[in-house]
């Protein structure tokens, strides 16, 4: 299923307000969970957040922050975990974050393209 997007007339004014244009682009592709959470939070007020997320889903982006969601190995993950065995409280928090990520995808109108978007367990 392909997501049809209307062509955007992105002016210089809008582009100047995009967080991915204002900050270091490497932040959106960091290995650090903390930096990825910062990138997600910066995407929150972006005027192109929904289009960015839809494009990432359509392209099956392998990794990075797109539209305020973290992609890892082509799947949307609620948060990037640090290396090593997760703590029990982290597993419970991950379950809650997974539900929130699914709700954000549904609110963006991308839940019907669930075959295109995998949520990592």
Which pair of structure tokens corresponds to residue 48? 């192109």
Tally of residues, the chain: 121
Consult the annotation and say whether 20 binds a ligand.
yes
Consult the annotation and say whether 43 binds a ligand.
yes
Residue 35: burial class (beta carbons within 10 Å; 0-12, 13-18, 19+): middle
Consult the annotation and say whether 84 binds a ligand.
no
The DSSP letter of residue 45 is T
Number of H helices, E strands in the chain: 5, 4
CB 70 within 8 A of CB 77: yes
Consult the annotation and say whether 54 binds a ligand.
no
What gap in Å lies between CA 89 and CA 72, rounded to an integer?
22
| Annotated binding-site ranges | 20, 43, 46, 52
| Annotated binding-site ranges for [4Fe-4S] cluster | 20, 43, 46, 52
């Amino acid at each position: 299923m392909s997501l049809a997007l209307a062509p955007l007339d992105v002016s210089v004014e809008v582009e100047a307000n995009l967080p991915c244009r204002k900050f270091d682009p490497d932040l959106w592709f960091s290995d650090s969970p903390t930096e990825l959470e910062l990138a997600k939070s910066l995407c929150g007020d972006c005027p192109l957040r929904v289009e960015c997320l839809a494009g990432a889903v359509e392209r099956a982006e392998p990794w990075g922050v797109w539209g305020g969601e973290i992609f890892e190995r082509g799947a949307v993950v609620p948060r990037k975990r640090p290396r090593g065995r997760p703590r029990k409280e982290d597993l419970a928090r991950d379950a809650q974050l997974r539900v929130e990520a699914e709700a954000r995808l549904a609110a963006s109108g991308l839940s019907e393209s669930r075959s295109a978007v995998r949520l990592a367990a």
